Amino acid sequence: MSEAPSDEKWAQMMRAAIGGDEAVYRRLLEEIGRSVRAMARGAFSRARVGDADVEDVVQETLLAIHLKRQTWDGGRSLAPWVGAIARHKIIDAMRRRGARRVEPIEDFENVLAAPAGEDPHARSDAERLMKQLAPRQRDIVRSISLDGESISATATRLSMSEGAVRVALHRALKSLAASWREAVQ
């Protein structure tokens, strides 16, 4: 099977990321994003609910992976864990779209081989949800995500400690995930 080596690679990348390697973490999230996108498109088209929410699912999954990475058992492979999170988010999104019944979602392992790129026009709800953040938190998220500023540069600009920026970013991402969840209900 071609999945096995790729998955072992993911587990190694995640271990490096948890150890603090930003570049590896970015690459891992990009790879995971492409696989989750393929999985979500497949699931949505089989359930005939249209794929307007695909990018939301991808982003919610990436956010959950980030916030819940301590629930991954570092001794195991990463793909089943990622697949479980993605499935959870896809089912949420389908319920949101009023799918009468949720079709079984194909195994994540099957889409690892067929990753999908981001639709350049897709915009997620995150933009709208960001408006609910406190101004300082929004500033920090924006400068890091849109302007590509590093945590240390952001810290200098706002005369904060790096630790404080890290905590503020973490809190901002947590409340982003929370308001996404509220939007689902």
Partner 1 sequence: MKTAELIEALAADPKPHGPGLRQTCLIAMALGAAASAALFLVLVGPRADFAQAVHTLRFDLKFVDALALLLPSVLLGLHILRPDARVGALALMFAAPLALLGGAVLVELSVIPSAQWGELMLGDNAMHCLRVIPLLSIPPLLALIYAMRGGAPQNPTLAGALAGAASAGIAATLYASNCPDDSPLFVASWYPLATLIVVAAGALLGRRLLRW
Residues that bind partner 1 (CB under 8 A): 17-26, 29-30, 33, 55, 58-59, 62-64, 66-73, 80-81, 83-85, 88, 118, 122-124, 126-127, 130, 141, 144-146, 148, 150-151, 166-167, 169-170, 173, 177, 181
Q: In the complex with partner 1, which residue's Cβ is closer, 47 or 177?
A: 177
Q: In the complex with partner 1, which residue's Cβ is closer, 38 or 141?
A: 141
Read off φ and ψ for residue 155, nearest 5 degrees. -60, -45
Q: In the complex with partner 1, which residue's Cβ is closer, 48 or 152?
A: 152
Q: Return all residues near 1 (Cβ < 8 A) that are at least 6 apart.
A: 109
Q: In the complex with partner 1, which residue's Cβ is closer, 48 or 127?
A: 127
Minimum distance, C-beta of residue 45 to partner 1, in the bound complex (Å): 19
In this structure, the number of other CB atoms found within 10 A of the CB of residue 100 comes to 7
Minimum distance, C-beta of residue 56 to partner 1, in the bound complex (Å): 10
Q: In the complex with partner 1, which residue's Cβ is closer, 98 or 148?
A: 148
Residue pair 57/63 in contact by the 8 Å Cβ criterion: no
- The rounded distance, in Å, linking the Cα atoms of 176 and 59 is 11
Minimum distance, C-beta of residue 76 to partner 1, in the bound complex (Å): 8
Residue pair 85/61 in contact by the 8 Å Cβ criterion: yes
Minimum distance, C-beta of residue 37 to partner 1, in the bound complex (Å): 8
Read off φ and ψ for residue 173, nearest 5 degrees. -65, -35
Angle at 126 between CA 14 and CA 21, to 5 degrees: 20
Minimum distance, C-beta of residue 141 to partner 1, in the bound complex (Å): 6
- The rounded distance, in Å, linking the Cα atoms of 150 and 124 is 23
